[in-house]
Amino acid sequence: MGASNDSQSIRAKISWLDLHIQPTLSITLTLAAQPDNQFKCRSRVPSWHLKSYKHVRRDGNDLPTQGKFLIDKTKQFAVDGTKIPDVDFDVGESYAGLLPISNSSNETRQLYFWFWPSIQPEPPKEIVIWLNGGPGCSSLIGLIGENGPFTWMDGTYKPVPNAFDWRNLTNVLWVEQPVGVGYSQGNVSIKDEPGLAKQFIGFYEQFIKTFDVQGWDLYLNGESYAGVTFNDPILSDPATAQSITLKDFYLFHNNLYGYNTTTLVNLTTRHFDCGYDKYLEKYFTFPPPQEPFPILPTPFSKNPQIEKCDTYSLMAYASQFINPCFNIYRIIDHCPVPWSVLGPTDEGQYNPAPKTVFFNRTDVQKAINAPVGTAWIACSSKSVFVNETAGDESPPVAQTSVLTRVIEATNNVIIGSGNLDAQLSTNGTILSLQNITWNGHQGFKTYPSTHPFFVPYHPNGWNPGSRAGAGVVGSWGEERGLIFYQVRFAGHLLPADAPGAAYRVLEKLLGRIKSLDEPGPFTTQKDVKNSTMWTGGFLFKEDEGVPPIDGYEVERMVREGRNGTS
């Protein structure tokens, strides 16, 4: 995004945590508006990040009287961290409310934000911004379900402190954008991403003035359609983004679903008939041809000759027969679907336990300075663009130089993917990256999986209150200022499925660690005695950074060792 006079000093360093474009065509309109917020487990939470939480309630109606950012012009936004309904612990200092998207005295368009200062005694002068996708999904989804100070996991009784709260590292700002999302106010007026960027920059200028953060570093983070806002690498081409690589994705995961022969033959035949095999042979190479990739016809067409190439819809439909609760965003999910405190993200979405949505409650809205009476919904039921039929009219990113310029200016861009995501597969994202030129070369020269992605172990042992796995959780590669990483046991909402991995990525983005295979504890971890070794006989310090290999190969090695052979 560009900058105005008030934000020229902001040095933007951009991280994509599973940032992909969501094609707004045909069936994908609905799918793109349905984030997977299914957090099934609840149990104890490690205490190593939670030193600031106090399970107390203040008496009286007074707002906080002290805080890092509490000054006269921010008092109206102050939130009492002891009085958020159903949250029975003090979540600390925060500020929430509406700010206009311009300094015009008659401006009616406003974006809702919730700003949480870092709990570090002396945090650096930097702001991390988190955006969710959609388009039209609220960033409060991320706050309450992924990386905020507290999480309320689906199907669970109440919110709990989040051990992977990003405030442990720095100051974090969650923003509902563009106009038309969540609590934000005003009439929808944009037709594309440049219009959205203008809205956001206008809002952020007002935020800078209000909270006196002029000249602070800015780090942009998000997932899903937020990648469009940050200008991600996907071509706005559904064939490239989804269909081309799906044959191998579903064949690889057939051990989970056991598709019948007819389905697999149908899938493979379409793959060959549509020329996807030839396309991959030529362009899914490392390095790729140094030329623009051809954009294939969209498979979401009423033309029978083109529609047959829609392997995306074919396999989603087939999967639902086998698993009625098939979740295209995380294919290992199954029935029953747990209830969500966020409510349904789509009017037609199954809601197993209808009840008042948390952010629709009057007491909640009053507590967080939201406009009382707003019918809040996680993902807007109406288009956030003025042309409801065409949707986002932005040109394909591959036809612009925005991402190239961002990488070359910062040399600090991170893009990630969860391997359980069928909406936008890992290799589909990598294929699209091969069509982008940065720092003098097009694409990756080597498949970006050359290093193990290590996440520190939990100091308190098992962590069933979170989905945060530890150890070698995936792989990563880096070339010319761009990092790509993948996490095996994560889907579309990567910070929700793998919060420890997302936390580690943020540490890398902020410069707290040197690489994603760096051993040792989290930089904010206080108790490190068990962070690198467990005593259960299987996860020892010497295993750090060692990528997994084929299980049968391990068996062969053990057999040969027992027999004294090499």
The catalytic residues are 224, 421, 492
183 near 361, Cβ under 8 Å? no
Residue showing tokens 């030193």: 51
Residue 183 · residue 98 · CB < 8 Å: yes
The answer to whether 148 and 165 are in contact (CB under 8 A) is yes
At residue 202, φ and ψ (nearest 5 deg) are -60, -45
Cis peptide bond N-terminal to 459, omega within 30? no
Q: Residue 500: helix, strand or coil by DSSP?
A: helix
Per-residue DSSP letter, 3: -
Q: Kindly state the helix (H) or strand (E) to which residue 454 belongs, with its residue range.
A: strand 451-455
- Separation between Cα atoms, residue 192 and residue 417, nearest integer Å: 25
First vs last C-alpha separation in the chain: 57
- Phi first, then psi: give them for residue 7, nearest 5 degrees: -130, 20
- Residue 505: closest CA among 428, 440, 424, 413: 413
What distance in Å separates the CA atoms of residue 52 and residue 55, rounded to the nearest whole number?
10
- Rounded-to-integer distance, Cα 522 and Cα 500, Å: 9
12 backbone dihedrals φ, ψ, rounded to 5°: -85, 125
Q: Where are the beta strands (DSSP E) in 117-159?
A: 126-131, 150-151
The candidate with the shortest Cα–Cα distance to 99, out of 362, 378, 369, 365, is 369
Q: Are 440 and 407 in contact (CB under 8 A)?
A: no
369 close to 74: Cβ distance less than 8 angstroms:
no
Distances (CA, A) of 148 to 368, 470, 513, 562: 14, 20, 21, 50
Could you give the count of Cα atoms lying within 13 Å of 352 in the half-sphere of its Cβ? 10
Residue 513 φ then ψ, to 5°: -130, 165
Work out the number of other CB atoms within 10 angstroms of the CB of residue 191. 16
Residue pair 344/351 in contact (Cβ under 8 Å)? The answer is yes
548 neighbors 538 (Cβ within 8 angstroms): no
- Dist. CA 42–CA 151, nearest whole Å: 10
Interacting residues of 553 by C-beta distance below 8 A, sequence separation 6+: none
Residue with tokens 């979540």: 91
Where are the strands (E) in 250-376, listed by range? none
Task: Return d(Cα 296, Cα 241) in angstroms, integer.
Answer: 11
